[in-house]
Amino acid sequence: MKKTTPNILIIGGGVAGMAAAQTFADQNVAVHLMEKESALGGHAAMWACMATDTCENCGACLSIEMADQIGKQKNIILHLNTIVETINKEKQGYEVVLENKETFRVKKIIMATGFSPFNPGQINSLHYDEYKNVITSAELNAILREERLSGYFNGKPDPKIAFIQCVGSRNREQGRDFCSQVCCKISMRHANKLTHLYPESDITLFHMDLQVIGKEVRPLFNTLSKNIALVQGVPAEILEDNQTNMLTIVAEDKLTQARVSKAFDLIVLSVGMQPAQTLEATAGMLDLKPNSWGFFNTDQAVLSKDVIIAGCANGPKDILSSKQDGRVAAAKVIEDLGLNTKKELNIAVFGQSVQADQTAMVISSKGYSTYLFGPGTSLSKDAPVTILDESNIISVSGTAGNFSLYYESGNEKKYLACAAIIAAFEPKQSLNRLDSLTNASLSLDAFSQMIEKTPDTCPGNSVILLDYFGPEFKSFARLALEISIKAKALGKNISIIMNKMLVHGALGQRLYDTARQQGVDFFRFETSEDLKFENSGTGFLIKLKEATLPSIELNLNCDCLVLPPSLTPAAGFKDAAALLRQPLDSEGFLQSANIRHRLTRSPRKGIFFAGTCHDETDQDDLNDEINDILSGFSTESFDLPEIDTGVEINQKKCAQCLTCIRVCPHAAIVMNEKNRPQIVPDSCFSCHLCVSSCPAYAIESKTLTNDQIAQKIEKDKVTILACERSAALAAGSLTLPDNITLISIPCACRISSDVILKALLNGASKVIVTGCHEENCRSLEGSNVADASVRQVLSIPGMDASKVVWEPVAANETKKFERIISKV
Amino acid sequence: MNTATINKTSALYKMLNQFELGDNISECLTCGACNSRCTWFDGEGGPLPRQIIRMAALGLDEQLVNSNMLWDCLLCNRCTQGCPMGISMDKVVRKARSLAIADDNIPKDIKIGIKNRIELGDVNALTKEEFVETVEWVSEEFVDEVDDPNAQIPHDIKGTKLLYLPNPRELGINLLHLTAMAKLFYATKETWTLSAHHTDVTNWGYFVGKDDIAKKMVLMVVEPAEELGVETLVLSECGHGYHALKYLLEDIIGRKPGFEVISMPELIVRYAKKGILKFDPEVHPYKIAYHDPCNIARKSGGYDAPRELLSMVCKGVVELIPNREDGVCCGGGGGILQDSTSKNKRMITGKPKADQMKATGLPNLATACLSCHRQLSELSNHYKLGIKVDTVASLASESLII
């Protein structure tokens, strides 16, 4: 049912465009979605799955699934294989003529034209156009996706592989003085994948400042730093050795203090992002002007109120951020056009941080009744937020739109009904100090206050030490840059000692360039061993083995040593996670790294995360997160008519053991007033984990009972049980051979050992269970359940081990799927 | 391990880290790109480009001067080609060489050459009388060379269209080259002259980085040429001479000169395009490799004229890999060739070039700089490459149809 005739056009069917389109579709708002290629998905759909033993959280597979979902929406009018020919501004809105001559009028346009990878052919010295084994990271993605990497190694089991970062990024002379933000992550995932594909490979990753940012990247970095060589300094020239045909790079060898030649079988250029080639023409038709980089991510760009920019046209972004950006853009259009049915909602914000205060204030300003559970909040009593700062939450029950918070206030116990909960707790911030020193160092925060408020008291010589107490959080690196520029303007000497400069964000590189230009000194160290600290009068003497000058020990004297704090999960995070029934990530921060729900959402509908409690966030990120969450309130209706979950509880069989309530990954099963478990359709994702877990067989699937599945089994054929979000999508474009029966299931959670045994009993010659990689399952447990069920079947005495296998296959692993079925 | 303290009042720091003015090497991103592009490649010894920049950026003057890297650097600027912050190694190293504390490191031959040039007007101390004697003697021979009884090699004539500024070697051990050039001037049918004030295209002040000396040497060319009232100053094939007298000229003297400056190959191409000079490529019936002199190519953008000319006088040009802005130094740049004690080192610095030459598989190679020419010929002998090395203009002279 269309709510409107379409008066919105989305230009670009990549991740951002698709996310926007889906957001409209969820609200029954009809839109035009235009894509120049013949299929939706954008660059992300061309990328390879980065999973090794587990999902590496890149999100590329999402684009396949999103494209699949969009194809099923009646409210989205697709225009594939075409571009905009003309756009005429009219009194209200635009008249759009596509190249295929379709013409329509729209009021709003979302411009999601995406990016183009930098073409390294422009840099002659890399010989990208000449040497076959010099490839870009985009090409490596295609090569991995198509499983043809071995063609580059001449059968060698131990190839030498180099990654070169920042090709086409961070170069002021070339007019690209920005960090492309995603390339370090991509290369780290690539390198990690290669260490698994070629365990004997020898991999070197040359980087300028490895951008180790974010909850999914820090653990990856820890693994990689043990398995590959991470070398600071990016080579600018590749040559081919005439005799060996190996690619060679000359680099400084720190040990011997000489230039040495290193040979590689394959060199991957980690290319930066440029605006899409179509951006300029499209922007011209809309009277928009991008900034000097060609993006719309700085004030220099000229915008229009009827055109919303989304995704990488707004500057380099990863897949999850593009998705978020698309969703936020759609929400803005919905609001501008008055298409949202604004509801009276109570929103609860948990957390005592500045970020929680800010979140609550913004939510409240949008007209939602906001309740802040935050002891020690700095909001004043007359803020338009109900502050429950003395309260202690005892339990959270219910589901999205209908949560019930049970809390203690003073000696009273109370209930609060709310539609959604935003977790914005504060992580533990511990001040760092150097034990060997008796002179007091200053915290970064105190130093910043000093520069801002009492600049007269700022000492003449200060040193800010980054990365020393573990990987720096990006917001501290940014603050260090900003504050050092200010200190310099006051005529103070200031140095930053670092392992790497995190130049994230649109203007990070410019800020770093400015700091150096103003005379802030930067020093690098490799390991903490390279630094020694001594008291010197009232100040400090730092003895530094500088990474770029390994033969000299530098003595740095300073009056003031500034140390950023360390951020770690707060003691209360475990309890908070238990309260919200949400997993922690591997470091103990809130929210799992699972990309199905990131950046701000969770498997439990109505539970959101904002700020540093779940990931590194600076002010820009937090604003984006709050907007994303708000888009959830205005577009993700909490009171939709009941949907059919395909699952029901047979109360006669139910033994009230509560297993279902305990296992439901979405907390969608609640106790009803008769004290019986009840599935709440709005919060159910139809994963069927309850069906396969119920010991009393009391939870029944309407279409996927064991018997119904068994009926689909064909005798003497291989049965593939495939998750509809991953393996079934990977198989989508293939014509399957006759000896294979593919049964699509909503989630691998459904695969109990019963299902597998039934299939074998019904004559399946083999059962292949396929689904998402571990940690990629939307319902979290799918791969574990399927794997465990397969093992259970295999443990039956006499069972032929070749009869049952578990193979994780992501939506973008068509080639892998092909390989698996080619073996049967 | 050496210890050092950063010194923001050091002489070098003050010269190179002028925060308002650009050319600010504190801007170094420490990206390390330069480390991969030193023209010594993986040869033994030699400079570590990023360390040079870092020492200079931190005011570690003494460490830099004592590192030997300053005179190992060939000023080829290959390392900083494509520096994301636009830093130029050539500028940094020359500034560092100009430090008073670096004076002892200046090769003895270069000190003598500079003294000769400043005091006597010629790097080899050629006197005006010797110049006149030499030119007039060569001029007599020239009549036979072009088979024209009225032909001559003119000198010190005012108001000619062209003035030729030779390499000092052309008035010494390489007189034949001067005759060959004279033949080309003769064929242009333009008025031209040599001059007793113009015996030396070189500028060793540039090598030692001392701006005052470099400027003085440039003015020693510019002012007498203006006095002669010539239209065009034609430079002999010389890399750093071209860079100083053409590319940097206005920067050095702070004004426009009263004449145009072009190189010999550029002059020849110009007259060939007018149809005045004609060549017979059958004189050199082979393909020839071309070596880009760093000072002419990468440092001054002079890529095309020598190639155009070679394609007229031979059967085509074969590129060395890499070439043009990525071209490899012959190994004799930055003043090392002018140091008579440097032969062994030059065979190391020139090894990458020798490998490149060998990889062409060709027996012929040309270049547009007499210094490169000498170094390349020595490399060919030392590494037994059997490659004959010529200058572009001399090949043109051989092919010239009169």
Write the pLDDT tens digit of every residue in B249-300. 999 999 999 999 999 999 999 999 999 999 999 999 999 999 999 999 999 9
Q: What pLDDT is stored for residue A637 in this prediction? A: 64
CA distance A549 to A554: 9
Residues of chain B contacting A232 with CB distance shorter than 8 Å: 30, 32
Asked whether the beta carbons of residue B83 and residue A553 sit closer than 8 angstroms, the reply is no
DSSP structure class, residue B279: B
Tell which of A122, A485, A516 to mutate to test the B interface (max B CBs under 10 Å). Answer: A516
| β-bridge mates for residue A677, sequence order | A671
Asked whether the beta carbons of residue A555 and residue B4 sit closer than 8 angstroms, the reply is yes
The whole-chain average pLDDT of chain B stands at: 96
Asked whether the beta carbons of residue A516 and residue B26 sit closer than 8 angstroms, the reply is yes
Residues of chain B contacting A233 with CB distance shorter than 8 Å: 30-33, 35-36, 50
Flag whether pLDDT at B220 surpasses 90. yes
Question: Confidence class of residue B326 from pLDDT cuts 50, 70 and 90?
Answer: very high
Per-residue pLDDT of B119-142, as tens digits, reads: 999 999 999 999 999 999 999 999
Asked whether the beta carbons of residue A552 and residue B82 sit closer than 8 angstroms, the reply is no
Cβ atoms of residues A538 and A400 within 8 Å: no
Q: Which two tokens stand for residue A490?
A: 């006051």
Which one of A208, A516, A555 has the shortest CB-CB distance to B5?
A555
Q: CA of B375, closest CA in chain A: separation in Å? A: 23
Q: What pLDDT is stored for residue A288 in this prediction? A: 97
Per-residue pLDDT of B141-162, as tens digits, reads: 999 989 999 999 999 999 999 9
Which one of A170, A171, A236 has the shortest CB-CB distance to B37?
A236
Asked whether the beta carbons of residue B37 and residue A516 sit closer than 8 angstroms, the reply is no
Residues of chain B contacting A269 with CB distance shorter than 8 Å: none
Residues counted in chain A? 824
Nearest chain B residue to A521, by CA: B26
CA distance A708 to A705: 5
Among A225, A307, A758, smallest CA distance to A499 is for A225
Asked whether the beta carbons of residue A552 and residue B4 sit closer than 8 angstroms, the reply is yes
Nearest chain B residue to A260, by CA: B42
Which one of A173, A517, A556 has the shortest CB-CB distance to B84?
A173
Q: CA of A119, closest CA in chain B: separation in Å? A: 16
Q: CA of B158, closest CA in chain A: separation in Å? A: 45
Q: Which two tokens stand for residue A317?
A: 């972004």
Asked whether the beta carbons of residue B19 and residue A242 sit closer than 8 angstroms, the reply is no
Q: Which two tokens stand for residue A452?
A: 């801002």
Question: Confidence class of residue B20 from pLDDT cuts 50, 70 and 90?
Answer: confident
Nearest chain A residue to B36, by CA: A250
Per-residue pLDDT of B196-212, as tens digits, reads: 999 999 999 999 999 99
Rounded percentage of chain B residues whose pLDDT exceeds 70: 100
CA angle A791, A794, A800 (to 5 degrees): 150
Q: What pLDDT is stored for residue A636 in this prediction? A: 62
CB-based contact (8 Å) between B373 and chain A? no
Which one of B81, B83, B359 has the shortest CB-CB distance to A242?
B359
Flag whether pLDDT at B331 surpasses 80. yes
| H helix runs in A203-304, sequence order | 217-227, 279-285
CATH class, B277-399 region: alpha beta
Residue A247: helix, strand or coil by DSSP? strand
Size of interface A-B (CB pairs under 8 A): 148
Among A10, A9, A25, smallest CA distance to A636 is for A25
Q: Which two tokens stand for residue A99?
A: 């190249």
Window B:40-69, CB contacts with A under 8 Å: 40-46, 48, 50-51, 54-55, 58, 60, 63
Asked whether the beta carbons of residue A548 and residue B26 sit closer than 8 angstroms, the reply is no
Nearest chain B residue to A524, by CA: B30
CA distance A612 to A585: 13
Q: What pLDDT is stored for residue B265 in this prediction? A: 98
Q: Using H for helix, E for strand and C for coil, what is the string for A628-646?
A: HHHHHHHHCCCCCCCCCCC
- Taken in order of first residue, the domains within chain A and their CATH numbers are 8-114+276-336 (3.50.50.60), 120-273 (3.50.50.60), 346-427+569-635 (3.50.50.60), 429-568 (3.50.50.60), 641-701 (3.30.70.20), 704-824 (3.40.50)
Nearest chain B residue to A516, by CA: B27
Question: Exposed, middle or buried: residue B86 (CB in 10 Å: 0-12, 13-18, 19+)?
Answer: middle
Q: CA of B240, closest CA in chain A: separation in Å? A: 24
Asked whether the beta carbons of residue A239 and residue B19 sit closer than 8 angstroms, the reply is no
Q: Which residues are within 8 A (CB) of A59 and not within 5 positions of it... i.e. 6 or more apart?
A: A44, A318, A319, A320, A323, A595, A598
Q: What are the residue boundaries of the structural domains of chain B, listed by start?
A: 11-105, 109-270, 277-399
Residues of chain A contacting B81 with CB distance shorter than 8 Å: 125
Per-residue pLDDT of B41-92, as tens digits, reads: 998 899 999 999 999 999 999 999 999 999 999 999 999 999 999 999 999 9
CA distance A513 to B34: 18
CA distance B75 to B56: 16
CA distance A139 to A274: 16
What is the complex's ipTM, to 2 decimals?
0.95
Residues of chain B contacting A257 with CB distance shorter than 8 Å: 48
Residues of chain B contacting A260 with CB distance shorter than 8 Å: 42
Which one of B32, B51, B81 has the shortest CB-CB distance to A549?
B51
Q: What pLDDT is stored for residue B8 in this prediction? A: 92
Residues of chain A contacting B43 with CB distance shorter than 8 Å: 259
Asked whether the beta carbons of residue B63 and residue A261 sit closer than 8 angstroms, the reply is no
Residue A604, by phi and psi: left (phi above 0), alpha (psi -120 to 50) or beta?
beta
Per-residue pLDDT of A607-641, as tens digits, reads: 999 999 999 999 999 999 999 999 888 766 665 55
Q: Is the sign of the CA dihedral B141, B143, B149, B150 positive or negative?
A: negative
Question: Exposed, middle or buried: residue A60 (CB in 10 Å: 0-12, 13-18, 19+)?
Answer: buried
Q: Name the pairing type of β-strands A160-167 and A202-207.
A: parallel
Other CB atoms within 10 A of residue B252 CB: 21
Asked whether the beta carbons of residue A124 and residue B325 sit closer than 8 angstroms, the reply is yes
Dihedrals phi, psi of B173, to nearest 5 degrees: -75, -10
Q: What pLDDT is stored for residue A36 in this prediction? A: 96
Q: What pLDDT is stored for residue A638 in this prediction? A: 65
**Is pTM beyond 0.90 here?**
yes
pLDDT-flagged residues of chain A (< 50): 1-2
CA distance B381 to B379: 5
Residues of chain B contacting A172 with CB distance shorter than 8 Å: 84-86
